[in-house]
Structure 1
Amino acid sequence: MTEAIWIIFAFGLGMAARVIGLPPLIGYLAAGFAIAASGEYIGLPAESTGALQHLAHLGVLLLLFTVGLKLKLKSLARPEVIGGGLIHFMISCLIFTPGILFFLDLDWYTALMLAIALSFSSTVLAAKALEGKRELRAFHGRVAIGILIVQDLIALLVMSLAGGSTPSMWALVVFGIPLLRPLIYKLLDMSGHDDLLVLLGLLLALVIGGYGFESVGLSSELGALAFGALLANHSRAHELSKALWSIKEVFLVGFFLQIGMGGLPDGQALIFALVMAVVLPIKGILFFFLLLLFKLRARSAFLTGLSLTNYSEFGLIVASIVLPEWLIPLALTVALSFLISAPLYRSAHPLYEKLANHLIPFESKGYHPDEQPLHIDAEVLVIGLGRTGTAAYRHLENKGFSIVGLDSDPVKIEAHKQDGLNAVFADAEDQMLWKQLQAPNLKYVVLAANDVEAKIIATQKLREGGFKGFIIGHSLYADHAEAITAAGADFTHQTFAETGIGLAEHILKKAGKATS
């Protein structure tokens, strides 16, 4: 009965959110509050909240594990990640603490703890938003995830100090985790492609990473992330992430439900949440200007800052330990920030296109090493080096064309370079890339990126820059094909339809009825 209530409310309000153009997770949050409001009327037992919290915790661990699978640890040791995370945390505390002391009758310690809780951004929401747009490995996605990890480490330190607990001496064992890599790699190779692969992922994320770290006094979240990162270089890391996807998504529904089910807010909690929502843009603006100081382009700084413009579930964890009386106001604040942040990031790229002329003048002189202007001497540019783009690259290369491939995933770029491809790292949705592009010999462009927005933006900016050559793309859907062609492409190949026609042509050829 309890599970049926969760499913009914989550599905109903999740679908309602989708119908009006909001991400379903907003509906899940609303479902949590609706269940909390009607719990006594529908006979929901009190202990069900604890069970849901456990389910939600498993979802967070699986999310962090899959984030770790796509994370290169060396990407954390970057000035913009460490500097951006630490400086933003300190400035946020300096801004929030006096403001809370001024408007609320609190002692300085409570004000400081509230400021710390509000300084963090949501790992769950940001990672889910970036993953949904396939941007976890894009430059701004890697910077955002790196900053979130820095914030999570700060949160773990705060909880340890404020809670008066310290890791046990056995915590030193975690420094030997890299020694397990050969064994875990072997297990991953032996696990096949079905149920054993899923169970191995659950074992590493929830048992060894989660429970193992927790048993020695460390954060289970950190453990799940660490074991995911341990496998990031394995060739089957992406397959493992896909295998865990459905389980993770279901458990994360529980995470959003339990935020709302934490309790109904009173008037003061609502006012506090509304005020914090009003000042929420300060977080994103601060991130934007800090990242510009580290020579990021305006687009990367904007997208990173927008993905981090929210309050964090880690703030709730901090509050549950040091400020339990503030848990419900903070839960409402986090939920309201999700309601604002999720739709904003959904339209992040079109929003940047509208604001670009106002944001670009703030850029620092010089370029970040990962965002240098692009020079192309080839005849053909292939945008997107997945299976489709790589196949096009290989075929044209065999026909004698000079080619360069472009992709926003540094892991793909490195792998393709090792295979001998002329591959460069760049984000096709970055309008500055196209404004600064130097390609005197370019004649043909193949649009093979996964994201339709990347194809449209690349086509528009190439045409606006005076490119008169041939642009061809592929699309899964007819409306996407029309949009790409309208942007200036000469032809858009509808992948599924054309593949079906190609299969039919083989039959016609065999029957002697092939079309001319």
Structure 2
Amino acid sequence: MTVAIWILFAFILGMVARGIGLPPLVGYLIAGFTLNSLGPTVGLPAESADMLKHIAHLGVLLLLFTVGLKLKFRSILRPEVIGGSLLHFGITCMIFMPALYLILGISGPEALGLAIALSFSSTVLAAKVLESKQELRAFHGRVAIGILIMQDLIALAVMSVTAGHTPSPYALLVFALPLMRPLLFRLLDATGHDELLVLLGLMLALAVGGIGFEAVGLSSELGALVIGALLANHPRAVELSNSLWSVKEVFLVGFFLQIGMSGMPDGNALMFAIVAALVLPLKGILFFVLLLTFKLRSRSSFLSSLLLTNYSEFGLIVASVALPQWLVPLAITVALSFIISAPLNRIAHPLYARFARYMDPLESDKRHPDEQPLSLGDTRVLIIGMGRTGTAAYEALRDSEPRLMGIDSDPARIKGHQDADRRVSFADAEDFNFWQTLDMPELEAVILCLHDIEGKTIAATKLRERGFTGFIASHTLHDDEVERIKNAGADDAYLTMNETGVALAVHVQQKLAIPTPADITPDQS
């Protein structure tokens, strides 16, 4: 009965939060505080406290496991990611620690722990914002996610130190874990696409990573992350992460409920959260300045910094281990930062357009390698978006059209295309500045194969604004998007499933030598 009440409160308040444009976890925190106010009979009976704590811990382990699945070193071994994250962490701690020590009158170690907790930004919020806007692979999205992964690693190191785990001699076996990778890869290949895939993820995160690492005196959180990282380069790592998404989110609801139930916010906690929110812009400004220092353009620096201008659920995880007495004030702080950050990120592009004239002069004269202006040269046909559809279009045209080119915003995907001898370059079609610097002297046709409708409409609109009069074709999955794409400037928009059906029918006609309508003469009809 108690669990049913938890679910009811979490669902209702999560829906309310989403309805007003906030992440549902804000609602879960409020649900926890509400249940706490109702007393132990309804909120958290003593016999249920251990169960909720266990559920919360499972949610943290699954979160770290899925972070590990995305831990591709080529995405974080970049100067702007490593330098930006470490410099921001160091500067933030140097500023926050003495301020907290003097203002709050707390001990040095306690002030340092609070400063560390406040230095992190939210992986969950940034990932959800980027996913909803289809910008996970855009340059600014990759920079933000790389910095967040670095912060997660720092948080994990802090948790391991403060948890007081004493490794056993068997902990050295961890260094042999890479030898397990072939076995893990074969297991992942053998599980298929159904519930066995989910069970494999749970087993690896909770049993092998969690219990296994605890058995040798190491942090279970470290274990979940390491086991996930071992699978990061497997082609199905993303599928495994997606299959665990809902399970992880449900368990994380327990984590946020537990925080809310751990105590009621008082006046001091609310004041702490308000002051932390007031200094939040300084956190974003510091990220912006650091990214500009690493030669990023103002647009990328602004969009990445805005994603990072919040406080983190990882700060709460660190606090739950090292600073349990500060858990409630930090929970209010995180929730308030989400209330500020989420709406701003929804209007990030219009915000940049409005203030670009003030930010652009701050750019370095030298550009980041991934942000060089692009010239199409003698390209006659351009394919924008080199996923499966774009690749199929490229292969269909490459023999008959020598002046063919593709662009994409995912460097890893571009590398694969270049290895396959395709002419593909880096560009973000949703970057307004890209269109301002694009040189396309001989372009005659454009094929829009971007995933999201916004990218297609932006590309079509900007091409026409630049004076392009050639043919623009696009694909789309939805009927209601056809007119939007055409109104943006495209000549034709084809429904993907319809075109697939036609292509299949053509294959059957060719196989069975069935005459097409064009082959039938009037006498035959």
Instruction: Give the TM-score of the pair, scaled to structure 1.
Output: 0.89
Q: Is the 8 A contact 2:137 2:410 kept in 1?
A: yes
After superposing the two structures, state which structure 1 stretch, 121-130 or 426-435, moved more: 121-130
Deviation track 1:102-150 (CA, whole Å, cap 9, x = no partner) reads 4323343332322122111223333343344444443333322322232
Q: Is the 8 A contact 1:380 1:401 kept in 2?
A: no
Measured in 2, the distance between the counterparts of 1:201 and 1:344 equals 35
Instruction: Quote the residue 1:150 is aligned against.
Output: 150
Q: SS of the residue aligned with 2:126?
A: helix
Offset, 1:504: 11
Instruction: Quote the residue 1:268 is aligned against.
Output: 268
Deviation track 1:426-466 (CA, whole Å, cap 9, x = no partner) reads 22222222222222222212221112222222223323333
Instruction: Quote the residue 1:450 is aligned against.
Output: 451
Q: How does 1:251-262 map to 2 (within 5 A)?
A: 251-262=251-262
Q: Is the 8 A contact 1:167 1:218 kept in 2?
A: yes
Q: How does 1:364-513 map to 2 (within 5 A)?
A: 364-377=364-377, 378-400=379-401, 402-495=403-496
Amino acid at match of 2:336: L
Offset, 1:160: 4.2
Q: SS of the residue aligned with 1:462?
A: helix
Instruction: Quote the residue 1:95 is aligned against.
Output: 95
Measured in 2, the distance between the counterparts of 1:456 and 1:47 equals 56
Offset, 1:286: 0.7
Instruction: Quote the residue 1:279 is aligned against.
Output: 279
Q: Is the 8 A contact 1:126 1:308 kept in 2?
A: yes
Offset, 1:89: 1.0
Amino acid at match of 1:483: R
Instruction: Quote the residue 1:234 is aligned against.
Output: 234
Offset, 1:270: 0.6
Offset, 1:406: 1.9
Deviation track 1:220-273 (CA, whole Å, cap 9, x = no partner) reads 333333332322322222332332233233223333333333322011101111
Instruction: Quote the residue 2:216 is aligned against.
Output: 216
Gap change, CA 1:46 and 1:353, over 3 Å in 2: farther
Instruction: Quote the residue 2:28 is aligned against.
Output: 28
Gap change, CA 1:500 and 1:342, over 3 Å in 2: farther
Measured in 1, the distance between the counterparts of 2:44 and 2:19 equals 28
After superposing the two structures, state which structure 1 stretch, 43-52 or 265-274, moved more: 43-52
Gap change, CA 1:241 and 1:498, over 3 Å in 2: same
Q: Is the 8 A contact 2:31 2:260 kept in 1?
A: yes
Q: Is the 8 A contact 2:21 2:342 kept in 1?
A: no
Gap change, CA 1:370 and 1:43, over 3 Å in 2: closer
Q: What's the C-alpha RMSD, in Å, of the aligned pairs?
A: 3.1
Q: SS of the residue aligned with 1:381?
A: strand
Offset, 1:478: 4.4
Instruction: Quote the residue 1:311 is aligned against.
Output: 311
After superposing the two structures, state which structure 1 stretch, 304-313 or 160-169, moved more: 160-169
Gap change, CA 1:468 and 1:254, over 3 Å in 2: farther
Instruction: Give the TM-score of the pair, scaled to structure 2.
Output: 0.88
Q: SS of the residue aligned with 2:475?
A: strand
Amino acid at match of 2:247: I
Q: SS of the residue aligned with 1:474?
A: strand
Amino acid at match of 2:106: L
Measured in 1, the distance between the counterparts of 2:502 and 2:37 equals 55
After superposing the two structures, state which structure 1 stretch, 498-507 or 460-469, moved more: 498-507
Q: Is the 8 A contact 1:259 1:335 kept in 2?
A: no
Gap change, CA 1:319 and 1:197, over 3 Å in 2: closer
Unaligned runs of 5+ in 2: 509-513, 521-525
Deviation track 1:149-169 (CA, whole Å, cap 9, x = no partner) reads 322333333344445545444
Instruction: Quote the residue 2:56 is aligned against.
Output: 56
Offset, 1:467: 2.3
Instruction: Quote the residue 1:72 is aligned against.
Output: 72
Residue 86 (str. 1) matches residue 113 (str. 2): no
Q: SS of the residue aligned with 2:425?
A: strand
Unaligned runs of 5+ in 1: none
Instruction: Quote the residue 1:345 is aligned against.
Output: 345
Offset, 1:96: 1.5
Offset, 1:468: 2.4
Measured in 2, the distance between the counterparts of 1:323 and 1:66 equals 25
Measured in 2, the distance between the counterparts of 1:194 and 1:10 equals 28
Q: SS of the residue aligned with 1:467?
A: coil
